[in-house]
Amino acid sequence: GWRVQHNNVLGPYKGGIRFHPASNLDEVKALAALMTWKTSLMGLPYGGAKGAVRVNPHELSERELEAVSRAYIRAVKDHIGPDRDIPAPDVGTNAQVMDWMADEYGKLTVKPEPAAFTGKSIEKGGSQGREPATGFGGFVVLREFLKIQDTRYKIRDTPIIAIQGFGNVGSYIAKYLSKDGFRVVAVSDSKGALYEPEGINIEKLAHEKEMRGIIDRGLCYAVSGHGRPCQTFSNEDLLTLPVDILIPAALEGVITGKNAAGIRAKVVLEMANGPVTPEADTILEKRGVAVIPDILANGGGVVGSYFEWIQSLDQKYWSEEVVLGKIEEKMKEAFARVAEAKKEYNVNWREAAYVYAINRVANSMI
């Protein structure tokens, strides 16, 4: 396992811990740097860090998972803390893992330190709205983008959407979008994708997934109400469907130099961290596809964490409505900053986000 601390000029290090069988040090370093730019862009008083354990959490028993979580904290205890480095969930970890970690940390410091972790369960001092925060933030950013979109993207009034990944991030953004009238036609998990051109009933699908732990590939739950055998295919094929907006919400490096030419969406909303490789970025830009970068699109997670941290420090708790309202405001501000930098420097969305994020860090280092 690893914990990488990239930069802390703006405040304590902040970033998730992932449990994934393919994690490695280089990946964690890259993700830690992304957190520095993300917290800077979001206007938070944090630096950037990331952690990982190379393990497949789905192959572990609950007891083993708890043992791994606690052992990780024993190893990094001297480097974390509420004003030093504040971990959170990421791919393959969740509120339960954070609760075990916070408990272990509290034992080691001989007093409870709930503000040393975010993404905790509500019972253990977590925040209302932290669980949907990343998906909700992405939904807010997409709506802001559509308000000012360039006519060249020619997006339908009811935009058609494909989402890769149906974990915490993918399932919540799917829910917010479909509630708001967007048509989500395809979703996937690590085992494959399903496609219903009429639009998928996301509420039903999410409920099924909660009950069984996997996406049911037998029925598609069309919005029209009837369940019929759905079209199933690979995660890779989902990327090239004829949709308006493509949302990679799983892992990094999925849109590459090899498949970017086949992307038919006009907008890619990066809800995963680093899903588009630099080669793919160049190809998409040439083809006029707008890529809304991860450090903006998925910033809602760490913004939600920030509000949890404040509540944990103060021992005062807010309602979900209040928290989501605060997240919405922060996302809109961040979007406006990026849109302004984009205009001023005449660059793409990713470059504009980096201009702002890097400047804020650099100015604090002088």
As measured in angstroms, the least distance from the Cβ of 114 to ligand GLU is 15
**From 7, 305, 311, 312, residue interacting with ligand GLU (rule: CB under 6 A):** 305
**Least distance (Å) between residue 234 CB and ligand GLU:** 26
Least Å distance, CB 255 to ligand GLU, is: 18
**Active-site residue identified among 50, 175, 330, 342:** 50
| Residue 297 touches ligand GLU, criterion: CB under 6 A | no
Active site residue 50: yes
Which residue of the chain is nearest ligand GLU when measured via CB?
Answer: 16
Tell me the window of 148-156, 216-224, 230-238, 298-306 that interacts with ligand GLU (CB under 6 A).
298-306
| String marking each residue 15-44 x if it binds ligand GLU according to CB under 6 A | xx---------------------x------
CB of 7 to ligand GLU, least distance (A): 14
- Does 330 bind ligand GLU (CB under 6 A)? Our answer is no
Number of residues that bind ligand GLU (CB under 6 A): 12
- Return the number of the residue (244 or 252) whose C-beta is nearest ligand GLU: 252
Three-state SS annotation for the chain: CEEEEEECCCCCEEEEEEECCCCCHHHHHHHHHHHHHHHHHCCCCCCEEEEEECCCHHHCCHHHHHHHHHHHHHHHHHHCECCCEEEEECCCCCHHHHHHHHHHHHHHHCCCCHHHCCCCCCCCCCCCCCCCHHHHHHHHHHHHHHHHCCHHHCCCCCCEEEEECCCHHHHHHHHHHHHCCCEEEEEEECCEEEECCCCECHHHHHHHHHHHCCCCCCCCCECCCCCCCCEEECHHHHCCCCCCEEEECCCCCCECCCCHHHCCCCEEECCCCCCECHHHHHHHHHCCCEEECHHHHCCHHHHHHHHHHHHHHHCCCCCHHHHHHHHHHHHHHHHHHHHHHHHHHCCCHHHHHHHHHHHHHHHHHC
By CB under 6 A, what part of segment 60-99 binds ligand GLU?
88, 90
Under the binding rule (CB under 6 A), the answer on residue 52 touching ligand GLU is no
User: Using CB under 6 A as the criterion, which residues of the chain lie in contact with ligand GLU when the complex forms?
Assistant: 14-16, 38, 88, 90, 118, 273, 298, 301-302, 305
